[in-house]
Structure 1
């Protein structure tokens, strides 16, 4: 009897430790929320099913540079006490114009992404309902719109109640479900190790749409919104200059998790679909193609992961415009202000465009990710100037290695932005 009680207690304490570990995750959870949404999952599925593991090198580079940028933005906030856009406006020549361009560019890219997310998430929820209630198939359009409206209304209501810690806990739940879903799917369907190694050698698919996908990859994994919002989330967490080591660790863990979860999605799509010669152009193509290979359980898990990825992105994306505007104005985010409520309400209405007009959410997601790369060079250049200003950094010197990493990230972002322009010109 005692042994049973002891086992039950030890199981409970282990579960408590796991939950405690997950909930102890810092502002990096928002980085994962911004980065791995249905945009990222869509790009990985399309890439894995069409080109195998060929674009793994782009993902690795993007995540490496993302880790550096999260670290420097967080460090600047803790040392100087200032947030990013407020500092751009205050300390940089042309800073006001740069900050306004960044706000417009990021909000446009993220809201475009939100339309695709809502389209994909509503369609996935509809497909789950259709399995159990086949009668709704004849009312697909109406059901998808109804689902989109209900989901949007729930998230808007949650936004009006929430504070930083509340958002963080909700995101932790979604991100944990998403990560576990994709990893378990990976154990059932996986690519050859030789393909993974080959994917780390830089090459661009020489086919139509190859350049666009590379730009979309960078737009989704090296998202400017992730870095710019970090100072506000670091402050929201209550961290100070004493938490510099914790901030560094948080940035590294976030970058590693973004890479491993994204790579797992690409690997599942590659292992299941690439050798079958079945590229995915609609998210729901995964239903017909993945089920025969992986079975219903893997398929359900994968869809659950994709849905969690979408829902985990809705929160941060609805927050992004108010965050950037608050950052520009004062460096403080007030979630109870009238400005916050109006901007998030507008973003919610914007989110319903794809479900209402019935566009292909997959195509919309990939195009929207490309828009995210255009402000990236400005975001990198701005922080390089700030962190190398000894007066602002109060004697904290930025290492040569971090500066080399930032210069390489800047060159990489310029190349990808050029690539994105070329891809969009071909698309339109």
Structure 2
């Protein structure tokens, strides 16, 4: 969002809007399916769909690969942001940048792995709520200080793709970020973790709508702040340091620090669910139940933590890696959408709870959108490599 806002202004707001709209629909139908049938997604794919076992394995591999690649970029971004905050107030650390960034990454990894070992969903939820709340308020307050023109916001809702190098890549990365398949597939387990039953159908619906709206508002705020503060300066963000050099003269040290804490909270709030996603999907495939105290859970999350350190260890540009990694998240979207369309339209499974025509139209539109974005992502990767 920061790169898009600083490079293209509000031009990609339409992509964000569609991604959040379809995300809301998919969160709703995945949650409803679980409340009505008692089954989680991948377990149901394997059990009820022809070729479901192969389909499920492909989904797990695709999502784990995409999410762990994202984790590398996010850990690189988060550790670099913490370093830049230190560097603002303690300039002497600049000469030890690599060592400090790597040390921060290792420290953050150890803390998050220790939190995972607590192993309770309600605890995970409280950690995420804290980080997301800090992120949301940081960017919304920043938006009061630096903001785009209303005409830019309106023009951003008109579908266009920047006809420049990297434009297609950023569109695919947008969708990979806000319409990630991992969100929908993990929702059934989180719904069960909250103790919801078929009596909570209305609450589940409100929850999905609220989630989609908040994702749009917070993400749009991030893009708008970057547009208002950076885009009109003609200095797009390509590295973490770019945010410091361009934002401080425009918004002052307070706004810059606020912006950084928002970005850091975005990163830290993403690390937690990404570490969880592979064991969640595997547990879903095996039994539909997640055991956070099992050796399998601890081993997989430990491997993911080590994987997260690749970018800090090699000193790669975390901004570039993060954008590239998000593209891989779009390729399993079509499978995930087709699977749930088949399940929720199975009258026997849904126990007489008919899926509305508008929901089906929304899912078909989401499928078409995911196919277009997947094709766009392939073109972007071919051009990149």
> What is the alpha-carbon distance in structure 2 between the residues aligned to residue 290 and residue 70 of structure 1?
35
Residue among 235, 259, 270 paired with 2:227 = 270
Determine the structure 1 residue equivalent to 2:379.
Answer: 422
Determine the structure 1 residue equivalent to 2:212.
Answer: 255
Offset of residue 272 of structure 1: 1.1
Determine the structure 2 residue equivalent to 1:125.
Answer: 82
> What is the alpha-carbon distance in structure 2 between the residues aligned to residue 213 and residue 385 of structure 1?
31
Determine the structure 1 residue equivalent to 2:117.
Answer: 160
- Aligned to 1:238, the other structure's residue is in SS state coil
Q: Deviations over 1:148-169 (max 9, x none)?
A: 0010001001100130000001
> What is the alpha-carbon distance in structure 1 between the residues aligned to residue 287 and residue 383 of structure 2?
41
Instruction: Please say if 1:375 is aligned against 2:332.
Output: yes
Offset of residue 135 of structure 1: 2.5
1:183-222 equivalences in 2 (<5 Å): 183-222=140-179
Residue among 303, 306, 309 paired with 2:266 = 309
Offset of residue 276 of structure 1: 1.4
- Do the aligned partners of 2:30 and 2:185 also contact (CA within 8 Å) in 1? yes
- Aligned to 2:265, the other structure's residue is in SS state helix
- Aligned to 1:391, the other structure's residue is in SS state helix
> What is the alpha-carbon distance in structure 2 between the residues aligned to residue 65 and residue 168 of structure 1?
23
- Aligned to 2:164, the other structure's residue is in SS state coil
> What is the alpha-carbon distance in structure 2 between the residues aligned to residue 212 and residue 228 of structure 1?
24
Determine the structure 2 residue equivalent to 1:26.
Answer: none
Offset of residue 367 of structure 1: 0.6
Determine the structure 1 residue equivalent to 2:282.
Answer: 325
1:6-405 equivalences in 2 (<5 Å): 44-405=1-362
- Aligned to 2:162, the other structure's residue is in SS state coil
> What is the alpha-carbon distance in structure 2 between the residues aligned to residue 70 and residue 403 of structure 1?
14
- Aligned to 1:252, the other structure's residue is in SS state helix
Offset of residue 283 of structure 1: 2.2
- Stretches of structure 2 lacking an aligned partner (at least 5 in a row): none
- Do the aligned partners of 2:30 and 2:340 also contact (CA within 8 Å) in 1? yes
What TM-score does the superposition give when structure 2 sets the normalisation length?
0.99
- Aligned to 1:191, the other structure's residue is in SS state coil
Q: Deviations over 1:395-418 (max 9, x none)?
A: 000000000000000000000000
- Aligned to 2:233, the other structure's residue is in SS state coil
> What is the alpha-carbon distance in structure 2 between the residues aligned to residue 283 and residue 295 of structure 1?
17
What TM-score does the superposition give when structure 1 sets the normalisation length?
0.89
Offset of residue 131 of structure 1: 2.7
> What is the alpha-carbon distance in structure 2 between the residues aligned to residue 341 and residue 365 of structure 1?
25
- Aligned to 2:349, the other structure's residue is in SS state coil
Taking only aligned residues, the RMSD between alpha carbons, in angstroms, comes to: 0.7
> What is the alpha-carbon distance in structure 1 between the residues aligned to residue 193 and residue 354 of structure 2?
25
> What is the alpha-carbon distance in structure 2 between the residues aligned to residue 283 and residue 131 of structure 1?
13
- Stretches of structure 1 lacking an aligned partner (at least 5 in a row): 1-43
Q: Deviations over 1:136-187 (max 9, x none)?
A: 2211111111110010001001100130000001111111000000000000
> What is the alpha-carbon distance in structure 1 between the residues aligned to residue 132 and residue 258 of structure 2?
14
> What is the alpha-carbon distance in structure 1 between the residues aligned to residue 88 and residue 323 of structure 2?
28
Deviates more, 1:277-286 or 1:401-410: 277-286
- Do the aligned partners of 2:85 and 2:260 also contact (CA within 8 Å) in 1? no
Moved segments of 4+, more than 4 Å: none
Q: How many residues align?
A: 385
Offset of residue 118 of structure 1: 0.6
> What is the alpha-carbon distance in structure 1 between the residues aligned to residue 95 and residue 249 of structure 2?
25
Offset of residue 274 of structure 1: 1.3
> What is the alpha-carbon distance in structure 2 between the residues aligned to residue 204 and residue 314 of structure 1?
29
